[in-house]
Amino acid sequence: MPQYLALTYTADVDWSHPDQAAQMVEYREFSAAAAAVIRGGAVLYPTATATTVRASNKGGDVVSTDGPYAETKEALTGFYLLDCADLDEALAWAAQVPAAWGGAVEVRPVIPLGS
């Protein structure tokens, strides 16, 4: 079955902060409703905690910079890995991710590796 990554782009909030409790309840409700298709996922700390790493070449000099890869108004704040029959099903689930309102959810098909 095809897999899709649903990336949540929202305000760069701290999900671990009590202020976000109400939002987290919505996410838990989504997770429960979509349990049958969710293969994995994560909620991320704010982009202030991010470090972006580049190497000059394989095994070469490493340069780490503070902050996320892309500085945008809405930040990557989490993701779900979904098992869906096709894109329509994935989009239908993505529309129910709380980030879909107030933010956006990017749906990307996952390349099947191995056999």
Partner 1 sequence: MRRSAADLLSALTRDDSTRILATLIRLTGDITLAEDALQDAMVKALSTWDSTGIPDTPRAWVIVTARRCAVDRIRREARRTDKEASAMALFDDGDDPPESVVRDDLLRLVFTCCHPSLSLDARVALSLKTLGGLTTAEVAGALLVPEATMAKRLTRTKQKIAQAHIPYRVPPDAELPDRLPAVLATVYLIFNEGYAASSGDLAVRSHLVDEAIRLARLLCELMPDEASVIGLLALVLLQDSRRSARVDKDGALVLLADQDRSLWDHENIVEGVRLVGKALQRSPDRPDSYGLQAAIAACHALAPSYVDTDWPAIVSWYDVLTTVADTPVVRLNRAAAIAERDGPPAGLAEMDGIDGLDDYPYWHASRADLLDRLGRRSEAAKAFDRALTLRLNVSHSEYLRRRR
* 75 vs 97 by CB, closer to partner 1: 97
As a three-state string, the secondary structure of the chain is: CCEEEEEEEECCCCCCCHHHHHHHHHHHHHHHHCCCCEEEEEECCCHHHCEEEEECCCCCCEEEEECCCCCCCCEEEEEEEEECCCHHHHHHHHCCCHHHCCCEEEEEECCCCCC
**Which among 17-25, 48-56, 65-73, 79-87 is the span making contact with partner 1, rule CB under 8 A?**
79-87
Site membership for partner 1, residue 48 (CB under 8 A):
no
Residue 5 near partner 1 by CB under 8 A = no
In the complex with partner 1, which residue's Cβ is closer, 2 or 46?
Answer: 2
| The one among 29, 66, 86, 106 contacting partner 1 by CB under 8 A | 86
Write phi, then psi, for 16 (nearest 5 degrees).
-80, -10
Minimum CB distance to partner 1, residue 2 (Å): 5
Query: What mask, x for binding partner 1 by CB under 8 A, covers residues 95 to 114?
Result: --------------x-x---
Interface contacts to partner 1, rule CB under 8 A: 2, 85-88, 91, 109, 111
